[in-house]
Amino acid sequence: MKKVTISTLIKMKQQGERITVITAYDASFAKLFDEQGMDAILIGDSLGMVLMGEDDTLPVTIEQMVYHTRSVKKGTQRAFVIADMPFMSYATTEQTYTNAARLMAAGASMVKMEGGDWLLDSVRGLTERGIPVCGHLGLTPQSVHKLGGFRVQGREQQQAEDLINQAMALENAGAQMLVLECVPTELARRVTEALSIPVIGIGAGPDTDGQVLVMHDMLGVSANYMPKFSKNYLALCGDIRKAVSLYIEEVKQGKFPTDEQSFS
């Protein structure tokens, strides 16, 4: 099967084909997801919660992200590989360049950073230096203490308008993909229509260009809790490969997420 690139994903958006994304943290699961036809694999700093048992993602280090990115890459042949930049690894432009380069050298094809306007210079700088960037707006887990917990974002009109403006600014700065987390369905639809780059939702309703889930949530084995926006596909199938295949099928056909996994 032909290798997925950022050009592939942009073309999928243009053609209205849904994009499937899942997190992975090791070579074995990456290989399984890749073989089932997943479009993209994200090495998420969610590993702090689902692998390490932490209350949030903040303790995750760049060294850990490099390790897991290298592991995932070894199991991946086709899928597009995205790596999270962990908390405070991109506080300055110099840090950003150094740490993004480490993740790319470990096998990532794109790095993901959380935040809006304050990131624009870093996004421009990475883009100029040949490093593709994925933005992340809405609920940004690295800012969980500032946000007052894991709460839906963008419900107030001014909040929603600010988020749309930030999304457009990130694209203008060079971001080639955007993750929207825990925002109302209508807001996610507006952002998706406003951007020419792929918008991937998690708890953002059915109208984004694609969906991403944490693999432990999708398999119903998360240590902490099952988010409202997730679905336990393993419970439906009883087999991991069938569960992954069903997740891909439902995203492609627009059957996931439903109103049950979305926010108004």
CATH class of this structure's domain 6-261: alpha beta
Residue 226, pLDDT > 90, answer no
Q: Binding-site residues for Mg(2+), please?
A: 45, 84, 114
Instruction: Select from 33, 18, 104 the least CA-distant residue to 65.
Output: 104
Mean pLDDT within 79-99: 97
Catalytic residue among 35, 54, 156, 181, which? 181
Quick one: tokens of 149?
A: 């917990």
Q: How much is the pLDDT for 187?
A: 98
* Cβ neighbours of 61 (radius 10 Å): 14
pTM flag (> 0.85): yes
Instruction: Give yes or no for residue 255 having a pLDDT over 80.
Output: yes
What local confidence, expressed as pLDDT, does residue 147 receive? 85
181 catalytic? Reply is: yes
- The pLDDT score that the predictor gives to residue 224 is 67
Mean pLDDT of 240-249: 98
- pLDDT of 142 strictly over 80: yes
Residue 261 CA: distances (Å) to CA of 63, 95, 185, 209: 34, 36, 10, 16
> Domain spans of the chain?
6-261
pLDDT at 39 over 80: yes
Q: Give the residue ranges of the annotated binding site for 3-methyl-2-oxobutanoate.
A: 45-46, 84, 112
List pLDDT tens digits, range 101-115. 999 999 999 999 999
